[in-house]
Amino acid sequence: MLENLIFCLNATVPIFLLMVLGYFFKRVNIFNESLTKGLNSFVFKIGLPVLVYKELATSDVEELWDTGFIVFCFVATFISILIGWAFSFLAHDKLTRTEFIQGTYRSSAALLGVGIAENLYGSAGMTPLMIIGAVPLYNVAAVIILTTGTNEGKITPALLKKTFIGVLKNPIIIGIALGIIRSLIPVPILLPKTLEYVSNLATPLGLMALGASFQFGEALKKYRPTVVATFFKLVGFCAIWLPVAIALGYSHDKLVAVLIMTGSPTTVSSFVMAKSMGYNGTVSAGIVMLTTILSAFTLTAWLYILRTMGLI
């Protein structure tokens, strides 16, 4: 039992200690707002795309590929969005309902997901395939939900076209696509050490930048929708989809990828997108903050349960 707990703590504690370091560096003025923004941009546009590219380019994608698993991730995400939408009507304010929905389903799938998978298995495992199934839907649904959440918001062909192009231009999706293509070319990888150096920066820099972005004053200004969304994000959806994944025969890195998709904290980009589309962002900021803090405990607990059951 103790061995299983140590195994799980080794996967999660380093992740959250890096966030604490980032917050500490911000407090002592080693990280400022400009640097934090630059680090987030580097990780999203360069670090994580290079990481998933390297993982796939050096893998046997034909053996790794699992269409059924990608479809499962898509369907689970879609149904989770509908559940979040249904429970959002508990809130009276339309803008609060919209931020609530986005906060319940948008995971830090790439950043925390890759970090935890690497700590467990030494590689990203099935995380890139989970990203293919879930992340494009994250982004498309967020644009539609946030647009229709305002009184004047309307879904137009131009908006749908812009959203679709935005998904195609997502750096992480591009990294995955290029990695798959490169894996099919039987030629040695050029500059493998350079790729490794850049990809190794993604997780630690991204996690420290995330910690540096925390603003605790915003966390519980609207505590009711924040707490309910946090429950769904860290507990509710895991309780629904992990048993389904187990029933389908998923285990080890696939099951970890499902856990990351359903139980990792809400991505900070949900707050950024809400602010950019005219929301005050209070609910989004609170959900990001609370899910990130509590996920240190919930992710460890879920991993411990799966490990004790012999599934990971």
- Span 231-289, pLDDT tens digits: 999 999 999 999 999 999 998 888 988 998 998 888 877 776 777 667 777 788 788 88
Q: Around Cβ 240, how many Cβ atoms within 10 Å?
A: 16
Both structure tokens of 24: 């500490």
Write the pLDDT tens digit of every residue in 144-157.
887 776 655 566 77
On the question of pLDDT at 60 being above 80, the answer is no
Alpha-carbon distance 167 to 6, whole Å? 38
Q: Around Cβ 21, how many Cβ atoms within 10 Å?
A: 17
Both structure tokens of 99: 């931020």
Most confident of 7-11, 93-97, 135-139, 304-308: 304-308
pLDDT at residue 247, rounded to an integer: 94
Write the pLDDT tens digit of every residue in 21-48.
988 998 898 888 888 888 878 887 888 7
Burial 190-203 (b: 16+ CB within 10 A, else e): eeeeebeebbebbb
On the question of pLDDT at 114 being above 80, the answer is no
Rounded to 5°, the CA angle 266-240-78 comes to 60
Largest CA distance in the chain: 59
Helix/strand/coil percent split, the chain, to 5? 80, 0, 20
**Residue 9 carries which side chain, given as an amino acid letter?**
L
CB 259 within 8 A of CB 238: yes
pLDDT at residue 153, rounded to an integer: 56
Let me know if domain 2-308 sits in CATH 2.60.40: no
Show me where the domains of the chain are located: 2-308
